Amino acid sequence: MFQGASSLSLDAKGRLSVPTRHRDVLAATASGQLTITKHPHGCLMVFPRPEWEKFRERIAQLPMSAQWWKRIFLGNAMDVDMDATGRVLISPELREAAGISKDTMLLGMGNHFELWDKATYDEQEAKAMQGEMPDVFKDFSF
């Protein structure tokens, strides 16, 4: 289970240094192999390869009415490998799609990560915090 937020900066070549606390798990469970694709909320999803394969199978089974979403998820997916120092290259196409230039937020979302442009994430989080909580939280105890 991946959780927690990390504020990270891409290097000049567009590489992201995976936080140390996640590297060992990714090396053990996915041999450092990741898949990155677009998320409908404007960020990127970063999957360990075994989790990506499960997600890919679910997407591939969607009906023709979801063909554009198949294209968005599967057609934009990029396989990457962590290098010896725990970095992964975020392709220029995916960086552009998520509006990522340098400063990012990497969020552990259970079986995968979300990678956001930091300014976009901060803006979206503030907007969510000012709004009403979804009905699903009405009977939820904190």
Per the confidence metrics, is the pTM higher than 0.75?
yes
Whether the predicted pLDDT of 138 surpasses 90? no
| DSSP3 helix / strand / coil % (the chain, rounded to 5) | 40, 30, 30
Homologous superfamily (CATH) for 3-130: Transcriptional regulator MraZ domain (3.40.1550.20)
- What is the model's pLDDT at position 119? 98
Q: Where are the domains of the chain?
A: 3-130
Span 100-120, pLDDT tens digits: 999 999 999 999 999 999 999
CA nearest to 25, candidates 77, 79, 78, 82: 82
Nearest of 127, 120, 98, 117 to residue 40 by alpha carbon: 98
Average pLDDT, the chain: 96
pLDDT at position 142 over 90: no
Q: Is 101 helix (H, G, I), strand (E, B) or coil?
A: coil
